[in-house]
Chains A and B, each alone.
Chain A
Amino acid sequence: DAKTTQPPSMDCAEGRAANLPCNHSTISGNEYVYWYRQIHSQGPQYIIHGLKNNETNEMASLIITEDRKSSTLILPHATLRDTAVYYCIVRRTGGGNKLTFGTGTQLKVEL
């Protein structure tokens, strides 16, 4: 699975959009981009995933560049409860969702 690069930390004001970048320049054509988050001391939680089209669900939006070498997770109206470590993971189809976690981005949402 391709490696990813994320900034170690970011801050965001409550109510504003949080834009979390991820670089995955070695991504292959059959690899998806997944985002998970981990709120302090809890198990990781799935957020969203995509292949090449932009995706949106009730939690977030995922914007993937046309060359698929980078992506951005957007939390449209961040709240204090969105403070967490966000992991960008690239993986192939199948295999039961075996995930390789990096160190992620620590997002701190402040008043």
Chain B
Amino acid sequence: DAGITQSPRYKITETGRQVTLMCHQTWSHSYMFWYRQDLGHGLRLIYYSAAADITDKGEVPDGYVVSRSKTENFPLTLESATRSQTSVYFCASSDGTEKNTEAFFGQGTRLTVV
């Protein structure tokens, strides 16, 4: 189906485990983003990518790793999960043109680290 999809929708993992959240978009948008949302903090940008093989840090990048080998995929990896990374994670994409079109968000992944 067309659009932006995240998987899994829900994940429980143990402290210290590595976990990867997947994001896939079908529009060939050049830009992709990862946000986390916690109570009292709203959405905060973790990492973003302007194109395949180009990534950059956002506001809260510590403890996360991203890669973008293909335009349509932008996985987010927690190398050693901590309880403070329990959050809802949203992926987004946009075409990034000067026309200022909107960003499209996935449905989110609810991650619990125990």
Residues of A within 8 A of B (CB): 32, 34, 41-46, 49, 87, 93-104
Of B13-21, B60-68, B72-80, B100-108, which stretch is located at the interface? B100-108
Give how many B residues have a beta carbon under 8 Å from the other chain's beta carbons: 27
The main secondary structure of chain B at its interface with chain A is strand
Tell me whether B96 and A101 are in contact (CB under 8 A).
no
B33–A43 contact, CB under 8 A?
A: no
- On whether A96 and B106 interact (CB within 8 A), knowing A32-B100, A102-B42, A104-B42, the answer reads no
Instruction: Give the residue of B42, B48, B100, B108 whose beta carbon is less than 8 angstroms from that of A101.
Output: B42
User: Which DSSP category, helix, strand, loop or mixed, fits chain A's interface?
Assistant: loop
A-B CB pair tally, cutoff 8 Å: 62
Q: Bound complex: CA of A94 vs CA of B101, how far in Å?
A: 10
- State in angstroms the CA–CA spacing of A46 and B42 once bound together: 16
Which residues of chain A come closer than 8 Å to B94, judged between CB atoms? 96-97
Residue interface bits B24-47, CB-to-A below 8 A is 1, else 0:
000000110101000000111100
Q: Are A99 and B103 in contact (CB under 8 A)?
A: yes
B58 contacts across to A, CB distance below 8 A: 98
Q: Given that A46-B103, A101-B42 are known contacts, is A96 also in contact with B30, CB under 8 Å in the complex?
A: yes
Contact at A43–B100, with CB atoms within 8 Å? no
- The answer to whether residues A46 and B108 also contact, given A96-B94, A97-B94, A101-B43 and a CB cut-off of 8 A, is no
